[in-house]
Structure 1
Amino acid sequence: MKIHGDTNSGNCLKVKWVCDRLALPYTWIGVDMLKRETRTTPFLKLNSAGQVPVVEFDDGRVLAESNAIIRYLARGSDLIPADEFAAAKMDEWLFWEQYSHEPYVAVCRFQMKYQGKPASDLDPDKIKRGYAALARMEHQLAATRYLVGDNLSLADVALLAYTRLAHEGGFHLDGYAAVRRWIVEAERSLGLPPAR
C-alpha cells in the first residue's frame, strides 16, 4: 500500500506508527502541505477533501481520515482491545481527539511552528480548550497506565501524535505528570525516539 502523507503532520505519523508497530509493508509518498500539494488535481482525485493522510491500497481502494485508517489497519491486532466495551472506549477517545484535542493543541502548534505566530498572538480560546484537553487526559492517566486501561491502544497512538509536541504550540506540561509519564511509555512502546 501507499501512504500519502506529510511527516510534519501528527495525523500522518499516526498511520506510519501503526504500520511500523504492526510490521505492515508500505511505501511512503511525501506530500508537502505547506507547498499546497494536497490541492493538486492528482491529489484531489485521491481525496477530494484535499487532506492527508490518504492510504491507497494495492487493489485501488483509497481511505482517508487518520483515525479511520488506523482503525482499519489495526483490526485484529493488540492495538484494539478484545473486550467490546474497552474497544468502544478506545473509539470514544479517537472521536474526542479529533473534536476536542487536535483543533486546539495541533492548531496552536501549526500556527507557531509553521506560520511563525508568537504565543501571545494565539487565540486565547484555543489555548483554554487545549489545556482543558490536557487536563482531561491527565485525569484519566492518573488512574490508568494508558488511556484505555493497562495496554497501549489506538487511543494512545492518536493522542500521542500532538500531545508529545504540545510545547511547540505553547502548551507547557509541567503540571501534567501523568501525561508526561504516559508520553515516555507510549513512545517506548511504539519504538519512537523521545520528542524534542
Structure 2
Amino acid sequence: MEKQQQLYRTAFGLALFTIFYNVVEGIVSTYLGFEDESLALFGFGTDSFIEVISGLGIAHMILRIRKNPESNRDNFERTALRITGTAFYLLVAGLVATSLYNIWIGHRPLTTFWGVVISLISILIMWILVWWKRKVGNQLNSTPILADANCTLVCVYMSIILLISSGVYQLFSIPYMDSLGTLGLAYFAFKEGKECFEKANSDKQCCCT
C-alpha cells in the first residue's frame, strides 16, 4: 500500500512538472516566435498554454483515482476537457487561417533557429515524461495514467514537426516551410481537441496517438 501511494505521488509530481514545463515553454516559444515572425514556433507555444489547462485536469484526475481507482470523471475534469477542446479548435482556426495567409503573401520568418533549439529540448523532456509516466502507469496498472502518457507522446510528435519545419527552413530557406509546419501542428491540435470532447462526454480513458 505504501509503495502504491508513493507511485501516485510520483504520478502527481510528473503532472505538476508537465504543467510547469508547458508554462515556461509557452512563454519562451510565443515570445521568440513573435520576435522571429515564426508562426510555427508561436503556434507551438500557444499549444503549450492549452496543455496547461489539460494538465490541471490530469493532476486532479490523479488525486481522484488515488482515493478511488474505480471512480469515473467528475465535473471538474469534464469541464477542463471541454475548455481544452474549445481552445484547441480556436487554435486550429487561427493557425490554418494565418498559415494560408502567410503562404498567400509569401511571408518568411526572420529565423527558425530557436524553433530548432526549443523542439530538441521538448523532444528530450517529453520522451522522458512519456517513459516515466508509462512506468508508473504500468506499475499501478492504471489506464488513466497510461492514457496521459500517450497524450504526452502527442507533444513529442508536435515537437518533431516543429523541428523538421524549422530545421529545413534554417538550413535551406525553403519557402513556406514554416507555414507547412504550422499546418502540421494544426492537424494534431485538431485531433487533440476532438479527443477532449470525446473524453468529456464519456468515461473512455484514451488519447490520440
Which of the pair is proportionally richer in helix?
2
TM-score band, normalised by shorter chain: 0.3 to 0.5
Q: Which has the larger radius of gyration?
A: 2
With the length of structure 1 as denominator, give the TM-score of the two structures. Answer: 0.33
With the length of structure 2 as denominator, give the TM-score of the two structures. Answer: 0.32
Higher relative contact order, structure no. (Cα contacts within 8 Å, ≥ 6 residues apart): 2
Which of the pair is proportionally richer in strand?
1
